[in-house]
Amino acid sequence: MLSFDEVLTRLKDILSAEVGERKVLDKDVAEALGIVPAYFSVLKKRGTLPLAQISDFCAKRKISINWLLYDQAPRSLEESTEKYAAIRYFRQINASAGSGALNWEEEYETIRIGEDLVDLLGGRSRLKYIEALEVKGDSMEPLLHDGDIVAVDRSRCEVRSGGIYVIRIGEELFIKRLERGEGERGWICTSLNSAYPAIEAEPSELHILGEAVAVMQKES
């Protein structure tokens, strides 16, 4: 972090565009920060930066606080930030790959994903439709394993035969491959693990939450 005097110089440079021709004084900085000038003098002697007030100062003027405090160029920060994105992760909602589970919770956290996965999901504009759920059970092995995190596109609810979807049947949540039943009536929900029988469901019984579009293995 830059020293008090270095940050003070930068604050004065910023304020010089606001006060015109006259010299910017310490009291001008104090007033801009919302601090009593006498107390600002005490902070200066101690070399203690008023970080909360400086944060507000930067936010109001749309100035990078990282530049002000650390001399980091805004563009370099943008380039680093653009390498990552976040999607919503519903840790308490488990898409059962076995017998089904009812544990839908509205609380969520966010998980960070890299640019390669952002591209796979269709770009940053698509992330508002993406949610992440955890797989429970082994019925979709070898593609999906117990504990895998699946990215689900909630906008893709128009079934593509053979696609893998997170579905609700009654009050149970599953992740299954969907195929049309005979005569285009109903759906056959199949597992990849042959040890699990297929589930037949009428359209009125089956609610599609979205299509599974990517898998993220949980870190060990």
Examine the domain organization and report whether 61 and 94 are in the same domain: no
State which H helix or E strand residue 201 sits in.
strand 199-201
Examine the domain organization and report whether 160 and 198 are in the same domain: yes
Q: Which of 17-21, 153-157, 173-177 has the lowest mean pLDDT?
A: 17-21
The pLDDT, as a whole number, for residue 164 is 93
Examine the domain organization and report whether 64 and 159 are in the same domain: no
Examine the domain organization and report whether 54 and 88 are in the same domain: no
Evaluated on CA atoms 197, 203, 208, 214, the torsion sign reads positive
Where is pLDDT greater, at 80 or 125? 125
Examine the domain organization and report whether 186 and 88 are in the same domain: yes
Examine the domain organization and report whether 88 and 73 are in the same domain: no
Which percentage of the chain shows pLDDT scores above 70?
Answer: 86
**Residues 175 and 189: beta-carbon distance below 8 Å:** no
pLDDT in tens, 9-38: 999 999 988 887 789 999 999 999 999 999
Range of the domain at 40: 4-80
Q: Looking at residues 53-69, what average pLDDT do you find? A: 89
The pTM (predicted TM-score) of the whole model is: 0.59
Examine the domain organization and report whether 59 and 126 are in the same domain: no
DSSP one-letter string for 148-182: -EEEEETT--S--TT-EEEEEETTEEEEEEEEE-G
Examine the domain organization and report whether 92 and 189 are in the same domain: yes
The pLDDT, as a whole number, for residue 220 is 44
Q: Which candidate, 218, 193, 202, places its Cα nearest to that of 167?
A: 202
CATH of residue 193's domain is 2.10.109.10
Examine the domain organization and report whether 64 and 109 are in the same domain: no
Asked if residue 102 has pLDDT above 80, the reply is: no
